């Protein structure tokens, strides 16, 4: 027996597949009194405590978390770390919001000390909210990505990030060129991609802020290196879409701008896709590309309502994005709360097991990482959260009336936020403990 072996006793819940494909009941596994055995950062076994405890060697420590639910760590498929300090910026829709608030805020990341400070706060916030993997926009400054990856490496997180490429239609202080954007991205790829659990995403901000030359250079980076991601925005706002039509009249539509440059593939993640047409959805599905559904952002900026059923029809991979700072919460639970309402406004439902799927395994599939994260299956990386079912008086009272795991899950997603995340584990290490004086993430910042 290895002395690194540890066991956690709690209710266990994870997703086995998309309820849209498997049906609700076959899509999850719930063990009311379960045991999760972890060794060397990986899940070694999971199952009923009654079955696993008798075989557990006597020296293996068992932590018993009463009145809790363990799920896989949450996965945020679209977020901007430089926008941590500007959540809740008043009054504008996308394009004015970018010019008025976002660009001046991102300017500060030319200062590496500022970037290091915000990177630490940002990762601590992810972990406080139970998010163990995220696909993250940096700023245009390569130093911003160095700061984030350095902090993520210290915490041994599975994290994907990239430097923004932006060579037009933005202030001079925030633009690169097709050549410098390519060279800086390449240097970051060589420095970080594949180190620890880190991956690099080629990150053109969105079609309006890149010349065709820059988009072509993004395609070249993807062709020149294995396993990179492509991360950008797509069809978020009606004015934005009109602007793309004016800037790229020779292309068939917004998605085609990216497609033309070889940017649409199985590791491409497009944030929003609120106003996609059927043909674009079909193309995303055929390419194996993913959309990050960002409900708090789409409501906050008045962008529109994402059509999840259309994405499902075309088998488009979908994950959830908080899209902070246009999004209004780091919490994937709160993101699900708003996702439910976005579906309600379209006369549709988001059942709690679909929500669980989007927050975990669906997010992992969107990021092409489902063989490593997103589930509690043995062999997967031990990224998991312990959710406190008595975190607030209201939650405790409401859940005392619950008659099923479906109801408990739905209420958690409606009332829950960072307060319910009692512990967060990444690669088997506790990286957040709600009730501790200082979290591991805070310590990693110092």
Q: Which residues bind ligand GUN (CB under 6 A)?
A: 80, 94, 98, 102, 205-206, 233, 236, 297, 323, 326
Least distance between Zn ion and beta carbon 294 (Å): 7
Strands (E), 223-273: 229-234, 268-272
Closer Cβ to ligand GUN, 80 or 114, answer by number: 80
Question: Which string of x and - marks every residue 328-367 that binds Zn ion (by CB under 5 A)?
Answer: ----------------------------------------
HSE value, Cβ hemisphere, 13 Å, CA-based, for 404: 6
98 binds, among Zn ion, ligand GUN, none (CB under 5 to 8 A by kind): ligand GUN
- The interface partner of residue 125, options being ligand GUN, Zn ion, none and the CB cut-off 5 to 8 Å by kind, is none
Report the distance separating Cα 19 and Cα 357, nearest Å: 8
CB atoms within 10 A of CB 78: 29
Query: Cβ(310)–Cβ(280) under 8 Å?
Result: no
Query: Of 44, 57, 48, whose CA–CA distance to 11 is shortest?
Result: 48
Q: In this complex, which beta carbon is closest to Zn ion, that of residue 323 or of residue 418?
A: 323
368-395 in b/e form (b: 16+ CB < 10 A) is: bbbebbbbbeeebbbbbbbbbbebeeeb
432 binds, among Zn ion, ligand GUN, none (CB under 5 to 8 A by kind): none
Residue 323 makes contact with Zn ion by CB under 5 A: yes
**Residue closer to Zn ion, measured from CB, 323 or 381:** 323
- Residue with nearest beta carbon to ligand GUN: 326
* From 117-125, 164-172, 321-329, 424-432, span contacting Zn ion (CB under 5 A): 321-329
| Contact flag: residue 123 with Zn ion (CB under 5 A) | no
Using the minimum distance from each CB to Zn ion, give the nearer residue, 136 or 361: 136
Site for Zn ion in 251-310 (CB under 5 A): 271
The residue (of 158 and 233) whose beta carbon lies closer to ligand GUN is 233
Structure tokens at 5: 């072996």
Spatial strand order in the sheet of 62-72 = 42-48, 28-39, 6-15, 62-72, 384-388, 421-426, 429-433
Nearer to Zn ion, 259 or 323 (CB): 323
CB of 271 to Zn ion, least distance (A): 5
**Closest distance of CB 50 from ligand GUN, Å:** 48
State which of positions 371-400 bind Zn ion (CB under 5 A).
none
Sorted by sequence, the CB contacts under 8 Å of residue 131 that are 6+ apart come out as 73, 74, 75, 76, 330, 332
Q: Which segment (15-23, 65-73, 178-186, 317-325) binds Zn ion by CB under 5 A?
A: 317-325
SS3 5: coil
Token output for 90: 């008043």
Which residue's CB is nearer to ligand GUN, number 217 or number 297? 297
Least Å distance, CB 74 to ligand GUN, is 19
Q: How far is the CB of 98 from ligand GUN (least distance, A)?
A: 6
- Residue of closest CB approach to Zn ion: 323
Q: Within the chain, how many helices (H) and strands (E) appear?
A: 19, 16
Report the candidate in 50, 52, 68, 48 with the shortest Cα–Cα distance to residue 6.
Answer: 52
* 206 or 258: CB nearest ligand GUN: 206
The CB-of-240 to Zn ion minimum distance in angstroms stands at: 12
Shortest reach from residue 167's CB to Zn ion, in Å: 18
Is the Cβ–Cβ distance between 383 and 432 less than 8 Å? no
Joined together, the tokens standing for residue 381 give: 């990386």
Using CB under 5 A as the binding criterion, the count of chain residues that bind Zn ion stands at 2
How far out from the chain centre does Cα 168 lie? 27
User: Which CB atom, from 67 or from 92, has the smaller least distance to ligand GUN?
Assistant: 92
Of residues 17 and 327, the one with the C-beta less far from Zn ion:
327
Task: Check if the beta carbon of residue 418 is closer than 8 Å to that of residue 75.
Answer: no
Query: Hunting for tokens 């941590």 — which residue is that?
Result: 84
As measured in angstroms, the least distance from the Cβ of 207 to ligand GUN is: 9
Compute the chain's Rg from CA coordinates.
21
Closest CB 182 distance from Zn ion, rounded Å: 22
Closest approach of Zn ion to the CB of residue 151, in Å: 21
- Residue 205 interface partner, choices Zn ion, ligand GUN, none, CB cut-off 5-8 Å depending on type: ligand GUN
Name the minimum Å distance from CB 299 to ligand GUN: 12
List all residues 6 or more positions away from 216 whose beta carbon is below 8 Å from its beta carbon.
178, 261
How many C-alpha atoms does 433 have within 13 Å on its Cβ side?
Answer: 10
Which residues bind to Zn ion, rule: CB under 5 A? 271, 323
């Amino acid at each position: 027996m290895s002395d690194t072996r540890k066991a956690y006793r709690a209710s266990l819940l994870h997703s086995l597949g998309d309820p849209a494909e498997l049906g609700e009941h076959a899509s999850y596994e719930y063990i009311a009194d379960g045991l999760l055995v972890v060794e060397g950062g990986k899940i070694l076994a999971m199952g009923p405590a009654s079955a696993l405890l008798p075989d557990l060697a006597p020296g293996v420590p068992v932590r018993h978390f009463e009145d809790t639910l363990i799920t896989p760590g949450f996965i945020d498929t679209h977020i901007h770390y430089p926008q941590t300090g500007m959540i809740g910026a008043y009054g504008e829709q996308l394009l004015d919001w970018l010019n008025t608030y976002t660009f001046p805020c991102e300017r500060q990341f030319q200062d590496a000390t500022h970037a290091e400070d915000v990177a630490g706060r940002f990762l601590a916030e992810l972990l406080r909210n139970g998010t163990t993997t995220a696909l993250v926009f940096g700023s245009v400054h390569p130093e911003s990505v160095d700061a984030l990856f350095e902090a993520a490496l210290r915490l041994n997180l599975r994290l994907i990030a990239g430097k923004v490429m932006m060579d037009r239609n933005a202030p001079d202080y925030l633009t690169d060129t097709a050549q410098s954007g390519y060279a800086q991205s390449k240097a970051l790829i060589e420095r970080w991609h594949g180190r620890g659990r880190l991956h690099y995403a080629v990150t053109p901000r969105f079609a309006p802020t890149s010349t065709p030359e820059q988009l072509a250079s993004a395609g070249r980076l993807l062709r020149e290196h294995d396993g990179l991601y492509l991360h950008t925005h797509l069809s978020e706002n009606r004015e934005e879409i009109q602007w793309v039509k004016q800037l790229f009249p020779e292309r068939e539509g917004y998605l085609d701008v990216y497609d033309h440059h070889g940017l649409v593939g199985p590791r491409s993640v497009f944030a929003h896709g609120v106003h996609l047409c059927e043909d674009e959805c079909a193309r995303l599905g055929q390419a194996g590309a993913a959309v990050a559904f960002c409900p708090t952002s789409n409501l906050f900026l008045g962008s529109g309502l994402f059509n999840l059923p259309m994405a499902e029809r075309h088998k488009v991979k979908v994950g959830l994005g908080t899209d902070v700072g246009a999004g209004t919460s780091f919490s994937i639970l709160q993101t699900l709360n708003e996702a439910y309402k976005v579906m309600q406004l379209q006369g549709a439902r988001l059942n709690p097991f679909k929500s669980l799927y989007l927050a975990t395994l669906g997010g992992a599939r969107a990021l092409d990482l489902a063989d490593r994260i997103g589930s509690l299956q043995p062999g997967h990386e031990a990224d998991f959260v312990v959710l406190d079912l008595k975190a607030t008086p209201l939650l405790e009272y409401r859940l005392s009336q619950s008659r099923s795991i479906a109801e408990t899950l739905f209420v958690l997603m409606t009332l829950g936020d960072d307060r319910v995340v009692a512990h967060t584990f990444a690669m088997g290490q506790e990286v957040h403990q709600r009730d501790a004086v200082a979290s591991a993430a805070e310590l990693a910042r110092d």
